[in-house]
Amino acid sequence: MHSDIEKILVSQEEIEEKCRELGELLAEEYKDKFPLAIGVLKGALPFMSDIVRHMDTYLEMDFMDVSSYGGGTSSSGEVKIEKDLNTKVEGRDLLIVEDIIDSGLTLSYLVDLFKYRKAKSIKVVTLLDKPEGRTVNIEADVVGFKVPNEFVVGYGLDYQEKYRNLPYIGVLKPHVYSGE
């Protein structure tokens, strides 16, 4: 375990097992379709990469980068497009792939945007859900794990751009935030 991590909330084995389960579930849902899977950068990258390899179907992938967080650990409440899709979503079945739903602001922004762009259907899969963080009324269709209202890192999730490469989800030791 990395020396900055205080405890592991979801292990590498649990994540691998869940990705298989969710990938197979989604493959069944989309078996007669050609969905566009939209990974929300950068956090959803490992999750997207792992679930699509359990989807034995036709699918297209694209990525979007939006930010609602500054460098810190609480949401600023603003969503900004840093990188837009290269693909037209009109008439498409969309699968939004998220790392975590916290306040719900990012997700509700994306869902509204893709509705406005006339997507045919929109489903959301998220690895993690922090229900206690919610400020807007929105839920993912498929959730990997519920996590408590703590700041988590690893498997795509960062603190100041670090820890995305860890193969598990964990909580940082307090001294890491205080910079001691």
- Residues marked as catalytic: 102
3-state secondary structure labels for all residues of the chain: CCCCEEEEEECHHHHHHHHHHHHHHHHHHCCCCCCEEEEEECCCHHHHHHHHCCCCCCCEEEEEEEEEECCCCCEEEEEEEEECCCCCCCCCEEEEEEEEECCCHHHHHHHHHHHHCCCCEEEEEEEEECHHHCCCCCCCCEEEEECCCCCEEECCECECCECCCCCCEEEECHHHHHCC
Q: What is the smallest separation between the CB atom of 128 and ligand XMP, expressed in angstroms?
A: 8
Q: Could you say whether residue 26 binds ligand XMP (CB under 6 A)?
A: no
Q: Could you say whether residue 41 binds ligand XMP (CB under 6 A)?
A: no
For Mg ion, the closer of residues 57 and 145 by Cβ is: 145
CA distance 141 to 152: 21
Q: What is the smallest separation between the CB atom of 31 and ligand XMP, expressed in angstroms?
A: 28
Q: Could you say whether residue 43 binds ligand XMP (CB under 6 A)?
A: yes
- Residues numbered 69 to 108 that lie near ligand XMP (CB under 6 A) are 69, 75, 98-107
- Residues numbered 130 to 169 that lie near Mg ion (CB under 5 A) are 158
For ligand XMP, the closer of residues 57 and 108 by Cβ is: 108
Q: What is the smallest separation between the CB atom of 148 and Mg ion, expressed in angstroms?
A: 18
- Maximal C-alpha separation, the chain: 54
Can you give the C-alpha Rg of the chain in angstroms? 16
Q: Could you say whether residue 124 binds ligand XMP (CB under 6 A)?
A: no
Q: What is the smallest separation between the CB atom of 92 and ligand XMP, expressed in angstroms?
A: 22
Q: Could you say whether residue 5 binds ligand XMP (CB under 6 A)?
A: no
Residues of this chain that interact with Mg ion (CB under 5 A) are 158
Residues of this chain that interact with ligand XMP (CB under 6 A) are 40, 43, 68-69, 75, 98-107, 151-153, 157-158
